[in-house]
Structures are given as C-alpha cells and as structure tokens.
Amino acid sequence: MADDARLDVLKALGDNTRYAIYLELARSPAPRSTADIAETLGLHVNTVRPHLDRMRDVGLLDLRIGNTGGVGRPQHLYSLAHDAPSLGLEPPAFPRLAAMLLAMADAAGLEGDDAAEAGREQGRLDAETFPEGTPCLDALMGQLAEMGFDPEVEGGPGGVTVGFTHCPFRDLAEANPDLVCGLHRGMVEGLVDTLGDDEVAEFHSLIHRSPCQVELVGATTDTTTPSAETHLTDRMDP
C-alpha cells in the first residue's frame, strides 16, 4: 500500500464509528450486512452507510451484493479488504483456517472433551506467559480481551461471573458448539488451574446460554486492578 493510500486509511480510522466498524468486521469470520453492523453498534442504518462508503473509498472494505431471496433491495455484505491493515487483529484467513481445522477434527471423530483437553494444555501455556504474582482474574480478563471476547466482570457471593459480550468465533461456534466451546472452556480452565488462586465453578457456553460466561470461585472484583492491560504488555514471550 502506497504512503498516500496508507495515510487515507489512517485518517478514515480516526473516526470512532469507522474504527468500531473496522473492529467488528476484523473479528467476523463472514461478511456482514449494513443492518447487522448497525444493530451491533446500536446505530441507525442511515448513520452507518456513509461510513461504509468512506471505508470503501479508501480501500478498507470489499463489497459483495447478496441475494435477498425475493423482492426488495439487494443486500450489501461487507468484509475487510484483503490488504487492509490488521492493527494486531486476526487476518481474514484465520477464520477460514479455523473452519477447515474444525471440519478435520469432526471428520476424525473428535468430541467436546477432546477439544477441552487441547484447550487446557493451551491455557496452561498461556498462564506461564504472565509475570509471577499476576492475579488469576486479571490474567483471565486480559487473555479474554486480547482474544476479542470483550469480557465484563460482575461480583457475587463467593466469587465472580465473567461474561463474554462478544464472541470472535460465534459463527464457527454455532456450527460446531461442542468443539469450539469445548476449546474455549478448556483454555479458561487450564489458565485458571495453573495460576491456582481461583477455581472454575461453571462454564456456560453457547450450548447452554447466550452470552456465554464463566463463574469463578474465590475471585473478587477487588482483585481486578486497572493494571490488567499492563499485565498483557508485560507478558513474557512464550
């Protein structure tokens, strides 16, 4: 991308609404309609359309015309352009790769428990990248935020509930909840068990409820400090 074009892209993303649109599309494994984007952001479609046009003008978005299946205006479906900057988010190839790997796992007869065990091993490895003394809840919140789950914590008697307000793998999870949610559950359990000061009481995945959430015994909201993001930047290379 030429310097002038890159500058136009950066200027376009300087607007809060366009940046929010970018984040939604970067996290989505499938193209999104104007109405879908507007609903997610809590905006009117007429507010979102000019922002989408501007993002297309600078080469950030690709547009595909969908079939309405009947009479009416054709559906416009947006996705990130193949050469759009990643800004540290997953490139569009990752969801496709994940879908293929899930298909292979399903064909091999793997089940939710197999996925959970693989997730636990990854969670244990993730836990080792946090500095010694990092509170378990801080580490979990930071890890979930880094992966794009936009976690929110709520205190309760004897523990806390961490809700996942966004799922970057939702389309894949809806297609194969046992494997995808099993992996996620295992990652959370592996990280929490390794750090040791809290315990996973319940993990409510897409199979049970939406939005998903995890209940931790022993954690309190008092242990979550403003330094949670700092812990991410201070993490050791795995």
Q: What is the CATH number of the domain that holds 112?
A: 3.30.1380
Domain of 12, CATH number, reads 1.10.10.10
Contact 22, 81 (CB under 8 A): no
Q: What letter represents residue 238's amino acid? A: P
What averages of pLDDT result for each successive group of 10 residues across the chain (238 residues)?
69 87 84 91 93 92 75 80 68 70 88 92 90 87 81 82 82 85 91 85 74 79 45 45
Residue 172 belongs to some domain of the structure: yes
> The domain containing residue 20 runs over which residues?
3-80
According to the model, what pLDDT value does residue 223 have? 47
pLDDT at 120: 93
| Residue 108: CB atoms within 10 Å | 8
If one counts every other C-beta atom within 10 angstroms of the C-beta of residue 15, the result is: 14
- 24 and 51: one domain? yes
Does residue 180 belong to any structural domain of this protein? yes
Whether pTM > 0.85 for this model: the answer is: no
What pLDDT is recorded for position 169?
79
Residue 16 lies in a domain: yes
Q: What is the pLDDT of residue 86?
A: 63
> What is the reported pLDDT for 237?
43
> Is there a domain that residue 88 lies in?
no
Helix (H, G, I), strand (E, B) or coil at 197: coil
Per the domain annotation, does 86 fall within a domain? no
* 97/134 same-domain check: yes
Q: Which of 37, 31, 41, 33 is nearest to 80 (CA)?
A: 31
